[in-house]
Amino acid sequence: MKLNFAFSLLIMLRNLSAAKFPLDIPQCKASDTNCLSKIITKIVQQHPNGHSGLAIPKLEPLRINRIDITQGASSPIAINLNFRDLDLSGISNAVINRVVGFDTDPSTSKYEVYAIVPKISISGKYKIDGRVLVLPIKGEGKANLVFDNANLVVKYKPKVIEKTGKEYIQTERFQLDFDTERLHINLDNLFNGDKALGENMNQFLNENWRDILNELKPSISFAVEEILKGIINRIFLKIPYSEIFLKQ
């Protein structure tokens, strides 16, 4: 009995140390882009608090520590804008509508993932000083940005690394692009809490949201890129590449 127990314990520990694809997540063939779209959507929507088997952290909300935006005087939006302690919510409602470039050979893969998110909210602290189009702006307080029907495109080229005799991938080049049907902006405590000036400025920002978005987009994209890249690298470092897809 003792020998059987020891043998069973050894098998259990060996299985725990071997990172296998989680049994609760269906697998797809690399060439089955329709299956991949559905499974990625399922993972994102059904596991907002993360998934230990895939090394996915909590998705709701995603924490962004800081975004710094500095635009020179020659820009139509000449500002120093600092965001801190931001929470990004809404990713768990994403629908993956297309994937491209998945291959059983990681050296030939060039991944593209296209998604739509009905609503993304970013809330946290802000500090701003400068000029927006023709108006001066100054304030410090709470910020809330809401993106309606955001379209996200993630593109990345993997590099292959070897660990314990197996191939894993990490991101070599990574790019995020996004757009939205509408951006809603609210900055509390503008102009030292002057209610009339603050309301007028928020109205002005929302009327000119497209110009504002064009200036904010590069910095927001970079911040979210770093988060997504970290998540993707954790997933692919957890499971050998050969075990991610069903055999063709």
Q: What is the pLDDT of residue 164?
A: 87
* Chunked mean pLDDT (size 10), the chain, 248 residues: 47 50 92 94 96 93 93 85 96 96 86 97 97 94 98 94 91 94 98 96 96 90 92 92 87
Phi/psi at 4 (nearest 5 deg)?
-65, -40
CATH superfamily to which 24-243 belongs: TULIP domain (3.15.10.30)
Token digits for 79? 């500002």
pLDDT at 19: 64
- The two most distant CA atoms of the chain are separated, in Å, by 83
Residue ranges covered by each domain of the chain: 24-243
Q: Buried b vs exposed e over 81-93: b needs ≥16 C-beta within 10 Å? A: bbbeebebbbbbb
Closest by CA position to 149, among listed 180, 172, 122: 180
Q: What is the pLDDT of residue 209?
A: 96
Contact residues for 127 (Cβ-Cβ < 8 A; gap 6+) = 81, 82, 84, 139, 140
Spatial contact of 246 and 65, defined as CB atoms under 8 Å apart:
no
